[in-house]
């Protein structure tokens, strides 16, 4: 295995990467770039993931991830909001699409401006989820269209954490999740677009606990070699997440099978179909030894070879690491991106080049 730092800056809190390989072979890596507020939180012994100064940054590689360009930081979609959990994909027509959600952050005295003041930050300000959103570029990232808000009904407050998935017929799917305040227990859905991402809706429920005990979050979607969809979800009681769960859809994401727990402990997940027909699931391992792990399935995600779990990193300094995303290169090499930090506390973006056994 080869570990490569994509971006590391002691003045930045860099996390939540999204990785895509374009048909041209160029790699794009997007991530959440946050500055002074988030860095100060770390210095105070906190690691808030809410920061109205958080922006979408990206870097590109032309040599299969060995070297990366200086980052470009996109302008804010709203100065009062921080962009969160950005992911990227290339559509069949060459359009680049980044999906993300936002936190709107207001001073404590203006708390009532928020429909659901759900998060109290260390400096006294309040925040709430506002999103998800998509932006598109039709000129290889030279310019970006105005952001489009995604209709996340029936969730008034929804996030997204995995890239948009394009089906063979051109339908776009996005996994979303959210809770109804004051509950912190999330349900997960998939919403769709049939016009290239201009409008979204027609949500299909993936998972919801009617007893509001287990939270299902951050669905990762993939089209299996068998032609049906799989969703792998972060799950557990809020702030006590355990094993990943999975469900299948045989009608393009409109309906989903009953959830089943996988043997993979960790969160959140990314699912990648490999050229040899197997599925690869990568996930953050947020207990000692902190790091990133991977598991393979030979039967379209029904079972996972946990006895041969692959350890990509086990040298993280806290549970504030992970969010892996992977692509496969033409020679079969896998490139997995994630964020991590050591004892220096500098959250940074790295990739691991490796070959699946």
What mean pLDDT do residues 203-218 have? Answer: 95
Categorise residue 94: left if φ over 0, alpha if ψ from -120 to 50, beta otherwise: left
For 290, the 3-state DSSP assignment is coil
Confidence of residue 180 (pLDDT cuts 50, 70, 90): confident
Contact 44, 25 (CB under 8 A): no
> d(Cα 13, Cα 232) in Å, to the nearest integer?
27
pLDDT, tens digit (0-9, with 9 covering 90-100), for 3-38: 999 999 999 999 999 999 999 999 999 999 999 899
CB count within 10 Å of CB 6 equals 24
Q: Is the pLDDT of residue 131 over 90?
A: no
Query: In the prediction, which pLDDT does 169 show?
Result: 96
Smallest Cα–Cα separation from 253: which of 173, 337, 332? 173
What value, to the nearest 5°, has the Cα angle with vertex 224 and ends 1 and 263?
60
Rg (CA), the chain: 19
CATH class of 2-354: mainly beta
From residue 134, alpha-carbon distances to 115, 118, 149, 254 in Å are 22, 23, 7, 21
Query: For residue 238, what pLDDT band results from cuts at 50, 70 and 90?
Result: confident
- Show Cβ contacts of residue 146 under 8 Å, excluding neighbours closer than 6 positions: 135
Closest among 32, 38, 166 to 94, alpha carbons compared? 166
């Amino acid at each position: 295995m080869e570990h490569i730092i994509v971006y590391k800056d002691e003045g930045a809190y860099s996390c939540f990467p999204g990785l895509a390989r374009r048909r041209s072979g160029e790699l794009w890596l997007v991530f959440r770039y946050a500055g002074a507020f988030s860095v100060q939180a770390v210095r105070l012994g906190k690691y808030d993931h809410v920061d109205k100064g958080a922006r979408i940054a990206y870097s590109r590689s032309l040599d299969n991830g060995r070297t990366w360009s200086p980052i470009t930081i996109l302008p804010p979609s709203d100065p009062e909001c921080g962009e969160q959990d950005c992911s990227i994909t290339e559509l069949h027509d060459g359009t680049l699409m980044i999906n993300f959600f936002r936190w709107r952050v207001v001073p404590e005295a203006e708390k009532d401006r928020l429909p659901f003041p759900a998060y109290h930050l260390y400096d006294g300000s309040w925040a709430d989820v506002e999103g998800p959103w998509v932006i598109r570029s039709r000129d290889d990232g030279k310019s970006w269209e105005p952001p489009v808000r995604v209709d996340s009904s029936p969730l008034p407050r929804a996030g997204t954490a995995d890239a948009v998935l394009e089906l063979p017929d051109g339908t776009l799917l996005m996994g979303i999740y959210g809770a109804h305040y004051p509950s912190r227990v999330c349900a997960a859905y998939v919403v769709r677009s049939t016009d290239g991402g201009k409008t979204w809706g027609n949500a299909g429920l993936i998972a919801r606990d009617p007893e509001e005990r287990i939270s299902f979050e951050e669905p990762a979607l993939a089209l299996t070699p068998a032609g049906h969809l799989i969703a792998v979800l972060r799950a557990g009681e809020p702030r006590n997440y355990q094993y990943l769960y999975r469900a299948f859809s045989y009608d393009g994401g409109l309906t989903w099978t009953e959830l089943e727990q996988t043997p993979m402990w960790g969160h959140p997940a990314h699912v990648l179909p490999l050229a040899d027909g197997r599925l690869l699931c990568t996930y953050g391992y947020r207990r000692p030894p902190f790091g990133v792990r991977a598991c393979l399935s030979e039967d379209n995600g029904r079972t996972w070879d946990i006895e041969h779990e692959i350890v990509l990193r086990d040298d993280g300094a806290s549970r504030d690491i992970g969010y892996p995303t992977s692509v496969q290169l033409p020679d079969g090499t896998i490139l997995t991106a994630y964020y991590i930090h050591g004892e220096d506390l500098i959250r940074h973006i790295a990739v691991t080049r490796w070959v699946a056994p």
